[in-house]
Structure 1
Amino acid sequence: MRMRRVDVRRDGVTLSCLDGGTGDTVVLLHGLAGSAREMLAPAESLLPNHHVIAVDQRGHGHSTRRPQDLSRQAYVDDVLAVVDHLAAGQPVTLVGQSMGGHTAMLVAARHPGLVRRLVMVEAGVGGDAPEDYPAKLGGWFASWPVPFPDLAAATDFLGSTPIALSWSRDLEERADGLWPRFEPDVMRAAIAAVAEEARWEEWQTIKAPTLLVRGQHGTMKTAEVERMRALRPDVQHVVVPNAGHDVHLEQHGAWTRVLNAFLDR
């Protein structure tokens, strides 16, 4: 079963989505500098039994590249628009990795009637980052020697890690070469909004059954995870062995089994 690309438009922003399958709806949200394409493995594992929507969040992938609003509220409202247009506004399961998990958490907190289940992969409540973190991350993206003349050059620079290969596969071909599907300054502003405040109040208000997934070698701080679990003892917690921050790419087989098991509960 194949997924089709569908555009949802909201307030002058185009949100490009991969959409397919039938049944209860699962919405997949990638992390910073990612795209819906990197979520294809879990999407395809769900398609036989679920309606799946993988979103290119604003500023990413095939969606509007330079949206004016990069606030957390804008990302939340984008999810509402996608669910309204592609899932008839019915309750959905939200699955998000990293920044996408933070977006999913805020949607679940602010719109409890819309979220049937919540899955956060290597995603916490935000805040608690070094003050220069957004600038350093944006600076690293800006250091890419783009355009890359070809895929070999891109792979040579980016490397062969799962996330690097995902970036390489998703490069946009233009007349002068290959370009990433995001702008460094947009990435800096988007992650700054996540880093500026820890959303503990929102986390505590979530009522939807929640799965918190970490990579064995991920980047989440143990103290944050322990506090999240203490505040919500009902949350299911799974650590995927031999995985880092990009669990869905590094151990996609194990990850999809964890996800399917949670959805089948």
Structure 2
Amino acid sequence: MPPPTSATLTTADGTCLAYTDHHPAADPEITFLLLHGLAGHQGEWDTLTARLLSDGHRVVTYDARGHGASTRTPPATTRAAHVEDAVTLIEHLDLAPVTLLGQSLGGHTAMLLTASHPHLVHSLILVEAGPAGPAPDLPTRIATWLDSWPTPFTSLREAAAFLGHEAWTRTLERKHDGWHPAFDRTTIIDTVAELATTAYWSEWSRITRPTLLVQGEHGTMRPDEPARMLAHRPGTKVVRIPDACHDVHLDQPARLHEAIRTFVLDLDLA
């Protein structure tokens, strides 16, 4: 299997995006673009990426603006800026039509992209993501969560124990007093500002591409959200993954992969 290609792309507003292009051994069956969640990074997808590659798919991952190795304090943190970043990457790498797979905030970005740029998208997979809102207390909840981190961590083991997954530790920066988050707190909080005031049901209703919604059994979606999503778009396939919380891709990567594989196979047979 060819080694992955890691590079950076500079967007129109000067934001630098770090991305990795993973190619299968033969011509790809499907091209996936994977979008991580808030305060995350593209390395969270490593386990799922390996499984998708073994199925013969091409997989592109990237660090969203304000995250990972991408620009830490970009000039904009809006939903539109995040969508435009993904569009720019799709066009730069000639990925269309692409299957978008996004978790949490990344899923929300994928949803908005599919609604506004359907010609670029083959199908959509949302993991613990949907159009619900507004959520006025969201910025405060995110700030409280970030401020609860007992930083600096004295070791990566301590960080993994607190954050719940080893993958969350990979972008921590080591300084003289321990391990610190690599992101800017204000940027992360500002990134959810629009989600605090806006619902996106009209965008969801405009989507025409085949869609899979994946929930964690112990996830954080609003209890009525999946049913409302189905009411707006009855053709949506919904899968609930046992023993998974919000980070389904980290909690149960094998079960998530199986749900994706089944979804893809059903599309081929349709």
Q: TM-score, normalised by structure 2?
A: 0.90
Kept in 2: contact 1:139–1:184 (CA 8 A)? no
1:167 aligns with 2:168: yes
In structure 2, relative to structure 1, the CA distance for the partners of 1:105 and 1:149 (3 Å cut) is same
In structure 2, relative to structure 1, the CA distance for the partners of 1:9 and 1:174 (3 Å cut) is farther
**CA distance in structure 2 between the partners assigned to 1:95 and 1:186 by the alignment:** 23
**CA distance in structure 1 between the partners assigned to 2:160 and 2:246 by the alignment:** 20
Kept in 1: contact 2:160–2:168 (CA 8 A)? no
1:207 aligns with 2:212: no
**CA distance in structure 2 between the partners assigned to 1:195 and 1:121 by the alignment:** 20
Pairing partner for 2:106 from 84, 91, 100:
100
Partner of 2:127: 121
In structure 2, relative to structure 1, the CA distance for the partners of 1:142 and 1:184 (3 Å cut) is farther
Displacement of 1:32 in angstroms is: 0.5
**CA distance in structure 1 between the partners assigned to 2:223 and 2:256 by the alignment:** 20
Aligned-partner residue type, residue 224 of structure 2: A
Aligned-partner residue type, residue 63 of structure 1: S
Q: Deviations over 1:19-40 (max 9, x none)?
A: 1114231000011111100011
In structure 2, relative to structure 1, the CA distance for the partners of 1:44 and 1:208 (3 Å cut) is same
Kept in 1: contact 2:132–2:225 (CA 8 A)? no
Partner of 2:258: 257
Pairing partner for 2:155 from 141, 150, 153:
150
Aligned-partner residue type, residue 194 of structure 1: L
Aligned length: 259
Kept in 2: contact 1:70–1:193 (CA 8 A)? no
Q: TM-score, normalised by structure 1?
A: 0.91
**CA distance in structure 1 between the partners assigned to 2:157 and 2:249 by the alignment:** 24
Alignment of 1:1-265 (within 5 A): 1=1, 2-10=3-11, 11-22=13-24, 23=28, 24-48=30-54, 49-86=56-93, 88=94, 90-129=96-135, 131-155=136-160, 158-159=162-163, 161-162=164-165, 165-174=166-175, 177-265=178-266
Give the share of equivalent positions with the same residue, in percent.
Answer: 42
Kept in 2: contact 1:99–1:194 (CA 8 A)? no
Kept in 1: contact 2:66–2:73 (CA 8 A)? yes
**CA distance in structure 1 between the partners assigned to 2:160 and 2:240 by the alignment:** 29
Structure 1 portions without partners, runs of 5+: none
**CA distance in structure 1 between the partners assigned to 2:145 and 2:95 by the alignment:** 38
**CA distance in structure 1 between the partners assigned to 2:92 and 2:180 by the alignment:** 30
**CA distance in structure 2 between the partners assigned to 1:166 and 1:244 by the alignment:** 15
Q: Deviations over 1:84-123 (max 9, x none)?
A: 112x152100000011100000000000100100000000
Displacement of 1:241 in angstroms is: 0.8
Q: Say which is worse superposed, 137-146 or 60-69, in terms of deviation.
A: 137-146
Structure 2 portions without partners, runs of 5+: none
Q: Deviations over 1:200-256 (max 9, x none)?
A: 111001011000110111111221111100110100110111111111111111111
